[in-house]
Amino acid sequence: MNWDQLELNPRIAAAARRALKSVREVLCVSGPDLQRLTGLSRSDVQQLLAAAAAACRRHPPVPALLLHRGQCRRFESGLRLSVGCPVLDRLLRGGLPVGGVTELAGESGAGKTQLALQLCLSVQYPPRHGGLNSGAVYICTEDSFPIRRLQQLIREQSSLHSDVPPTLINRLQFSDHVYIEHAADLDSLQVCLSQRVPLLLARGLVRLLVVDSVAALFRSEFLADNWLERNKQLLTFSSALHHLSQEFTTPVLCINQVTDVFNSSDDSLG
């Protein structure tokens, strides 16, 4: 991203350019630090942050509800990966968009992992049945891979996909085409995304990437006051996912667990 592309007062852009290496770096520095580094006023820094955020964010996130309402033109058409559930496929207008990153968030036990596992099977069906005729790579960052739940879903494919000929289902070796990776820390995740996953994609072995979960590693590796470094790592991580999705025309699913909220009447709070 070039500084000249910012919709910003040239005076503010010039001050930022002298102090920072790139537009993206603006988003990794706090407001007070930007004031100190650039010599700009608080108002100028707010304009700088807003312009940098708008420039770096090519497209704003799109909630599933807007897809259902038909209020997002860039996702109205194009190849989709079926979720394997007719209700959810209707909600998403056919399934997950192939060129993009989808976040699935919810409380513990809501069924996020179950849905991700179903997608790992759906992607293996031919396009006429909502799949992409390829495998999936599943990156676990917290728990071990739920192999028993996957096997259970495999056994239920005939009843879940009654529209698919049984001979086709029996021919698919589902478990052989789900590639499992474990990343216990950010360094392992970086190696996985920069080396092993691109190799699988380039060879045509997979057309779906699942990360379960994203927030877990960032919560465990960074203290609350080290938010600057955490933001830098998040930017690097998200850029890597978008790059993989666009380069290989592959849907990416990121799972996140929301934090439980306790109200004031909860006795456990003392």
Residue-range domain boundaries for the chain = 3-56, 64-257
Residue 130 pLDDT more than 70? yes
pLDDT tens sequence across 93-105: 889 989 889 999 8
**Phi/psi of residue 257, each to 5°?**
-100, 130
Question: Does CATH number 2.60.40.420 belong to domain 64-257?
Answer: no
Q: What is the DSSP letter of 194?
A: I
How far is 156 from 88, CA to CA, in rounded Å? 18
Residue 112 pLDDT more than 90? yes
- What's the confidence (pLDDT) of residue 270? 31
What CA dihedral angle connects 25, 28, 33 and 36, to 10 degrees? 10
pLDDT tens sequence across 62-90: 777 777 777 676 666 678 999 988 899 98
- What's the confidence (pLDDT) of residue 95? 92
pLDDT band at 33 (very low <50, low <70, confident <90, very high): confident
CB atoms within 10 A of CB 38: 21
**Phi/psi of residue 167, each to 5°?**
-65, -35
**Percentage of the chain surpassing pLDDT 90?**
52
Alpha helices in 98-195 (DSSP H): 112-122, 147-155, 157-160, 166-171, 186-191
What architecture is domain 3-56? Orthogonal Bundle (1.10)
Give the residue with greater pLDDT, 265 vs 160: 160
- What's the confidence (pLDDT) of residue 212? 92
Q: What is the DSSP letter of 243?
A: H
Per-residue exposure over 119-137, b if at least 16 CB sit within 10 Å of its own CB, e if not: bbbbbbbeeebbbbebbbb
